[in-house]
Amino acid sequence: MKSTILFKSVSGLFVVLSLFATMEAQAQTVLLACLGSEVTEFEPGLTNDARQTHVSALGTDGCAGLPLSLPSAIVTTEGDGILGCGFGQGTSTIHIPWSDDTVSVVSGTTAVNVKPAGEVVIVVTGMVVGGRFLGARVVRTLTLLQTDLLACSTPEGVTDVAGVATLVVTNLL
């Protein structure tokens, strides 16, 4: 008798968990625009000569749009590519923990360009490949300021920058 009750309880738990997991990874309509700030680090730093570089970033955003229940997000990005101060491309993975404790995982491409006034412009485009908003298109644009205009010409290069970040997530079903 006890084993039957235990079996039914465990079976019921698995059914509930599988429904939750299915709902979590479903595609759904989303049209969110988020604005915030981000700190980005390059290892090794960006120089005038493009080289294999790892990018780590952390940002916080306030969001508006659909669904209405997501007023904010924390955005972490990890990426790798051949990057330099002139231009560079790579691949990135973005993790977006939303304010309702759900998460989106984005896989995409990264383009880096340093402008004459020293701002580092990074655009990450990709798709949600896991978690909330599965299949949605994502564009993350960063305009990051660095104060040492000659840093690209040094061996260390541009190692960290901070500035304004936008995040747009769209999937119209």
Q: For residue range 6-33, what is the model confidence (pLDDT) as tens digits? A: 334 433 433 333 333 434 556 789 999 9
In this prediction, residues 161-173 reach a mean pLDDT of 94
pLDDT at site 79? 96
> What is the pLDDT at residue 137?
98
Question: How high is the pLDDT of residue 135?
Answer: 97
- The whole-number pLDDT of residue 13 equals 37
User: In terms of Cα–Cα distance, which of 5, 7, 68 is closest to 32?
Assistant: 68
pLDDT at 113: 87
In whole angstroms, what is the distance from residue 48 CA to residue 80 CA? 17
Q: Which two tokens stand for residue 13?
A: 């738990």
Question: pLDDT tier at 164 (50, 70, 90 boundaries)?
Answer: very high
pTM of the model: 0.81
Model confidence at 76, pLDDT cuts 50, 70, 90, reads very high
The answer as to whether 165 is a domain residue is: yes
59 in a structural domain: yes
The set of residues, in sequence order, having a beta carbon less than 8 Å from that of 87 and lying 6+ positions away, is 50, 111, 112, 113
Domain span holding position 76: 26-171
In a domain, 158, yes or no: yes
Q: Would you say residue 113 lies in a domain?
A: yes
Whether residue 160 is predicted with pLDDT greater than 60 in this model: the reply is: yes
Q: Is residue 12 part of a domain?
A: no
CB count in 10 Å sphere of residue 158: 25
Structural domain includes residue 13? no
Residue 147 lies in a domain: yes
pLDDT value at residue 107: 98
Q: Residue 166: inside a domain, yes or no?
A: yes
Number of domains forming the structure of the chain: 1
